[in-house]
Chain A
Amino acid sequence: MSQLNSSATPTLIAKDGTRILDGWALLNDEDVVGADGPYVLGFERALTELPGLNGKYGVRVNPGDDIRALAPYMEKIALVEVNFPGYRDGRGYSTARILRSDLNYQGEIRAVGDVLRDQLFLMLRCGFNEFVLKDADPEGAIKAATDRFENAYQSAADARQPIWALRQKLTEA
């Protein structure tokens, strides 16, 4: 699907619907990594250089990258940018879930690339908390995604309890 309202400029927006300024800079391969700066490293570079770096960095993860390879460096990572080259490629959802539930990662997970309003609900559930969204009404898109479904059948990375747990509460009440 082409982007809804695709003429809109990309907006960086948080899951609570507030716009945020992007303090991070994606480094090109030839750029030198400064100390503890707001730098986003490519995945391969992060694997090579994070062992020798101190401080907090961002990492850009593409669909084919195995996020678990970064497990030893979690305390050095403050931002993971999960790239969606096309909205149909759903590998990024697993990346976010592994970060939150297996690697216990607490930092920011940002969806970049082909990020559409109709996917936000799924992304929120998988643990994304920032979005680079091309939409004429980004606040409205976040609100619609947050309000769309009150409950869900499965447990995921958001605060919703699975419907089976809610049912149990009702019978106990």
Chain B
Amino acid sequence: MYVYDQFDHALVRERNAEFSDQVARRLSGELSEDQFKPLRLMNGLYLQLHAYMLRIAIPYGVLSSVQMRKFAHIARTYDRDFGHFTTRQNLQFNWIKLADTPKILEELAEVEMHAMQTSGNCIRNTTTDQFSGAAKDELDDPRPWAELIRQWSTIHPEFTFLPRKFKIAITGATKDRAAIRVHDIGLHLTPKGFEVYVGGGMGRTPHLGHLIKSGVPGEKLLSYLEACLRVYNRYGRRDNIYKARIKILVSALGPDEYARQVEEEWNTLDQAAIDAPYYEIDRIRSFFPDPAFADKAFDQAALDRAKAADPAFARWVRNNTHAHKRDDHVSVTISTKPVGLPPGDASSAQMDVMADVADSFAYGELRVAHDQNIILPHVAKADLYALYQQLDRVNLSTANAKKISDIIACPGLDYCTLANARSIPLSQEISKRFADADLTDEIGELEIKISGCINACGHHHVGHIGILGVDKQGIEFYQILLGGRADEKAALGVITGKGLPAEAVPAAIERVVRLYLQLRTSPAERFIDVVERLGRETFAEALHEPA
């Protein structure tokens, strides 16, 4: 993975010195909360319902065992012994004391991490495929490009006060696991350069991104992005926070006109000054070699025996491993979603174990996926059972990757000042309802995503089943959306049926799922496939209690 040089270190150090000074001025009373707010937001520090929340950037979701161990240390020392992995491949600590933040940032800097630009109306952490550099279906590795964008966008002098936040995602594989069409800019890395999608997003007015340009060469990517951002910075709406994202601009201008303006702007730019040259791209790329793959003798018969002797392990191998470019390796999903617990949370003890198994079995490397799970990208098949047993000891062996209980949920009313309804308790109730592992396996791939308000942090628009919490005269109600997906066939879910009270939702979902099991032509036909074949309305009636 990328390693800081003297320049990267100096910049983070300078930024931390600045923020330490601002925190000191706030604590002494020289700055009011009102004055301090934009300064802390630029450094990832939010004031939540109960305490300060610090959001730490995990660049494109890639982290080392050393960094994971540091998270465990911070959770133990400064928080309530746990952290929360987010849908943007970041980590949040929810119970932070303001006076501790300079020390925490200093500790993070020791392991080449920071909290810059994890909030505010600036370019946020670029996200990517959690299986980058490992997946069998990958055409090219997006991580060097994500790092190039990270550097270009860090303290960009022109784009720190955009109309609204700005999120870029990159994929380099056949399957889109980075949800590029629901990002402000989505980049698809192909052998012929980048395809650039602009204007996707969720929130109150969801849009799928439009392809505005193909074949942007890598060595021109930054100047093209700069042109995209400049047009947005100048013409994006600033009169209404809910209409300020680039999706509204692109939709108002039309994608063709937006693309034309970008092209015109691009031609005015001093591209040679903006674009990092080949040698810098090659330098960055040199940090992302394959690990020194261990040629461990792999005994298929031994694995089969272990699976036969331990059905839970067999299930975990079936559900939580992903095809690797090498036949003797796999990528492993460590589920942060055991039945009945909040999605994305991990204790310091669990973080330590994840760091340890990464060192023992995964060349020291981990990823955070946008579904909030942790990935070990490279694991020798020969090590699977030993790995599983270590994870199992700390409740990290839930075999539900991509299954109905692998739910994305926002923090909801339990933590968030914006939410109308609770998300986490509902996700727990649903996962309890489908706690039967055999039933979960029979249902197969099914993505449920829950947001506690229309800001859509739980991505309900792109859930196969999306659940949106609303406030109806002081009572929490939930709208159900069907048919959304964020992959290479991206589509937005549509509200189906009437809203339901919280206690009715798990049963309604079970009726929908049972109907799906009746309607599918074979186990290979997934829930989302049946919704597309028969239409959402097929399931509308099942959402409601039979009269």
Instruction: Name A residues whose Cβ lies closer than 8 Å to a Cβ of B.
Output: 1-2, 4, 63, 66, 87-91, 93-94, 97-98, 101-102, 118, 121-123, 125-126, 148-156, 162-164, 166-168
Contacts and interface: CB of A to CB of B under 8 A. Distances in A.
B151 A87 contact: no
A146 B121 CA distance: 23
Contacts of B501: none
B151 A153 contact: yes
B234 A162 contact: no
B389 interface: no
11 contacts: A1-B36, A1-B38, A87-B38, A90-B159, A90-B161, A101-B269, A126-B158, A149-B15, A154-B157, A163-B11, A167-B5
Interface string B1-40: 0000101101100110010000000000001101111110
Contacts of A156: 157-158
Contacts of B5: 167
B155 to A, nearest CB: 7
Nearest to A125: B157
B213 interface: no
Classify chain B: how many residues form its interface, as a range: 35 or more
Contacts of A162: 273, 276
A122 B157 CA distance: 5
Contact of A153 (B37, B155, B163): B155
Closest 10 CB pairs of A and B: A90-B161, A125-B157, A164-B280, A155-B273, A122-B157, A153-B151, A163-B7, A93-B158, A164-B276, A102-B268
A4 B152 CA distance: 29
A118 B39 contact: yes
Contact of B160 (A66, A122, A148, A166): A122
The prevalent SS among residues of B at the interface is: helix
A162 to B, nearest CB: 7
Nearest to B162: A90
A167 B277 CA distance: 12
A125 B283 CA distance: 26
Contacts of B159: 90, 93
A122 to B, nearest CB: 4
B498 interface: no
A149 B233 contact: no
Contact of A167 (B7, B14, B37): B7
Contacts of B280: 164, 167-168
A126 B157 contact: yes
Contacts of A123: 157
B152 A168 contact: no
Given A162-B273, A163-B7, A167-B283, 9 more contacts: A1-B35, A90-B233, A91-B233, A94-B158, A122-B155, A151-B10, A153-B155, A153-B156, A168-B277
A2 B161 contact: no
B221 to A, nearest CB: 13
Nearest to A168: B279
A154 B161 contact: no
Contacts of B15: 149
B50 interface: no
B511 interface: no
